[in-house]
Amino acid sequence: MVRVGVDVGGTFTDLVAVEADGGIRVRKVASTPADPATGLFRAVETLGAAAIAVLVHGTTVATNALLERTGARVVLLTTKGFEDLLWLRRQDRAALYDLSRAYPDPLVAREDVIGVAERMGGGPEGEVAPLTDQEVRRVVGAVRALRPEAVAVAFLFGFRHPEHERRIARAVESALPGVPVAASHEVLPVFREYERISTTSAEAYLRPRVSAYLGRLSGKRRDGSIGSISAWRIMTSSGGTLAPEAAAQRAASLALSGPAGGVVGARLVGEAVGILDLLTLDMGGTSADASLISGGAAVSEGAGTVAGVPLALPAILIETVSAGGGSIAWVDEGGALRVGPRSAGAVPGPACYGRGGTAPTVTDACLVLGWLDASHPLADEVRLDRAAAERAVESLGVPAGAAGIVEVAAAVMARALRRVSVARGIDPRQMTLLPFGGAGPMFGCALAEALAMRRIMIPPHPGVLSALGLAAAAERVDVIAPLHRRLAELRAEDVRDAFGPLLAQGVGHLSAATLTRFADCRFAGQGYEVTVPAPQDNPETIETAFLEAHRARYGYGERGDPVEVVNLRVVAERAVPGPRFRAKSGGRPKPGKREITVWGERVTAEVWPLEALPAGFSFEGPALLAGGDATALLEPGWRATVHASGAVIGERGGR
């Protein structure tokens, strides 16, 4: 029995099977953009007759629906007088210095918003304006006339007093059986009505498509057409997994399902090596995702946007840029060389794939520079055509050529790494860069130098680390509730009583789980919160944790200013067996040699087999590490040593 992680990317679908003893098996097949499930089925079939205890899937179905705007037609029910909130947004611009830039349109059409005559108070007083039977009948009739595919219910104070939301949701469900209804007190029971309404609308928008996709996968498992699979789990944006039934009811939580798996895998490798502060860069075929691991834990954000849609759900901090291996290089009107956002994807793919693509991509440039081996097959026996890559790069007609393409791509990724580190007050020079994905390890040294970092770490199986993270991800459920009290007014008993219902919910969702408590705190009057651990009921302990976290992030955290708690959170997690990282035993392998171009200079690089390097083995750049799922480049001026886990630690000595 094995645990399997399957990551469906834009170009390749990766599978990692973790056996009972921690051993790892890797498979890689081409993705099928028209139907992502097909690539998943093909990947599972490559395992043969293996019995799968759990298959964890990282899906892009929710992400693609938001990017392509292919979700359900949603009718939004909100408190009368607040129908325009999704269009009013916040008082910020899409681009500070570009007055012509506009935000993407909301997921709901304005004519599909229905104001409901009701009002609950923000405090303990409850009902202010009653929701009458006549109003319920009117609203249900209006919803029926619009014939929606999904309904979102988000009243002004539904997070504190959900009675009206529950009543209208039940009435709509009875009148329109089969039409999913998402209510804000279930999706996101916190204040800030704009983010809550946007997140609830996204949940309704995504739920039909996600449910249909997961239902199809579950049907394939039941009929045995994709092998013997005892259970399914779905990766969420928070870095944990849910059962398919729960995931279908939390569709918006899957928006960063795939990238989150890579951060989990990076954290596991960091633990194995003993390096707990990491900047990570997952460079795949379509995009590159930057993230941050601090103190051995993935840094999370409570609010963010995906495809321009605000989603205030727990999610690992991920900054995505269009700089993948398949990103297309082009020249703008001013003659500047650009990379992305268009991608060649899996079909037709980069020109060097020989599948009909002609546009120059980052992968084509890497092949022209000699970083990739034209004789080394990729997934599905895809062999690279160097001549086609050279023709594509030459078609740009720019002197910089292939070297310019990779330099521009590296600059785009470096900006993403700065946004998750420097912009958060974190000095990247004190951290280790962990590049992974099919193309990431080729850019590790260049990115580290761009951020003045001195150390990189190439993980074992770098090309499929996201799938490995999926297979080893803990089962997880997040629950949240508002509090809105000043810490000075709270007693230990108040904190204990407030956490009680959340702890009960956590156990109810996930039995035998480890429960971790958090509090969202802020200085009174602030417009943002900082989430801090709250393992004890003592309010003073919570305040101390907040002040330390605020000082580390913003440079200020002095006692004396009143601090208030805004929300309480409980994370229920159930860990699963992880992989065993271990370098190969044996003597020194024999390197090959290949002419490559680095920083505009032609050099001779040693070529080492990545999976065959023994622990303690050291070598210097320029060198290429040729692996079964990715290739890594160690530039001149760098020296590397193989750790006992199989990870390669590179140190910069100056260039």
Taking residues 1-23, report their average pLDDT. Answer: 87
| Euclidean distance between CA atoms 261 and 264, whole angstroms | 5
The C-alpha angle 283, 289, 293, rounded to 5 degrees, equals: 115
State both tokens at 585: 């035993």
pLDDT of residue 287 exceeding 90? no
pLDDT at 250 (0 to 100): 95
Where does residue 243 rank: exposed (0-12), middle (13-18), buried (19+ CB within 10 A)?
middle
In the chain, % of residues over pLDDT 70 = 98
Taking residues 629-652, report their average pLDDT. Answer: 95
Q: List helix spans (H) across 401-475.
A: 401-420, 444-450, 465-471
* 593 assigned to some structural domain: no
* pLDDT tens digits along 502-528: 999 999 999 889 999 999 999 998 988
pLDDT of residue 606 exceeding 60? yes
Q: 346 or 200, which is more confident?
A: 200
* pLDDT tens digits along 119-138: 998 777 778 899 999 999 99
State which of 559, 574, 589 marks the end of a domain.
Answer: 574
pLDDT of residue 300 exceeding 50? yes
State which of 179, 198, 218 marks the end of a domain.
Answer: 179
State which of 543, 574, 605 marks the end of a domain.
Answer: 574
pLDDT averaged over the chain?
91
Name 633's bridge partners: 624
Which sign, positive or negative, has the C-alpha torsion 224, 229, 232, 234? negative
State both tokens at 595: 């002419």
User: What amino acid is encoded at 102 in this protein?
Assistant: A
* 545 assigned to some structural domain: yes
Q: Are 21 and 578 in contact (CB under 8 A)?
A: no
State both tokens at 47: 């395992």
DSSP secondary-structure letter at 505? H
State both tokens at 394: 């030459």
Instruction: Tell me the chain's radius of gyration from C-alpha atoms.
Output: 26
* 137 assigned to some structural domain: yes
- Return the CATH number at 560: 3.30.1490
Domain count of the fold of the chain: 2
| 294 confidence band (pLDDT: 50, 70, 90) | very high
Report which of 520, 535, 497 is spatially closest to residue 569, judged by C-alpha positions. 520
* 280 assigned to some structural domain: no
Residues in the chain: 655
Report which of 321, 557, 286 is spatially closest to residue 425, judged by C-alpha positions. 557
Which sign, positive or negative, has the C-alpha torsion 336, 342, 347, 349? positive
Name 638's bridge partners: 652
pLDDT at 226 (0 to 100): 63
Report which of 219, 216, 247, 222 is spatially closest to residue 233, judged by C-alpha positions. 247
pLDDT at 655 (0 to 100): 45
Instruction: Tell me the DSSP string of 70-124.
Output: -S--EEEEEETT-TTHHHH--S--SSTT-TT--PPPPSS-GGGEEEE--EE-SST
Q: Are 417 and 432 in contact (CB under 8 A)?
A: no
* 404 assigned to some structural domain: no
State both tokens at 337: 């060389």
* pLDDT tens digits along 378-407: 766 678 999 999 999 999 988 889 999 999
pLDDT at 47 (0 to 100): 83
pLDDT at 405 (0 to 100): 95
* 221 assigned to some structural domain: no
* 463 assigned to some structural domain: no
Distances (CA, A) of 392 to 376, 383, 389, 458, 622: 20, 16, 5, 30, 26
| Euclidean distance between CA atoms 456 and 630, whole angstroms | 16
Q: 258 or 636, which is more confident?
A: 636
DSSP secondary-structure letter at 381? G
Q: Are 439 and 447 in contact (CB under 8 A)?
A: no
pLDDT at 20 (0 to 100): 85
Q: Which domain holds residue 159?
A: 73-179
User: What amino acid is encoded at 9 in this protein?
Assistant: G
pLDDT at 207 (0 to 100): 97
Q: Which residue has the tokens 């959340």?
A: 502
pLDDT at 224 (0 to 100): 60
* 633 assigned to some structural domain: no
| Euclidean distance between CA atoms 229 and 372, whole angstroms | 36
In the chain, % of residues over pLDDT 90 = 68
pLDDT of residue 225 exceeding 60? no
pLDDT at 421 (0 to 100): 93
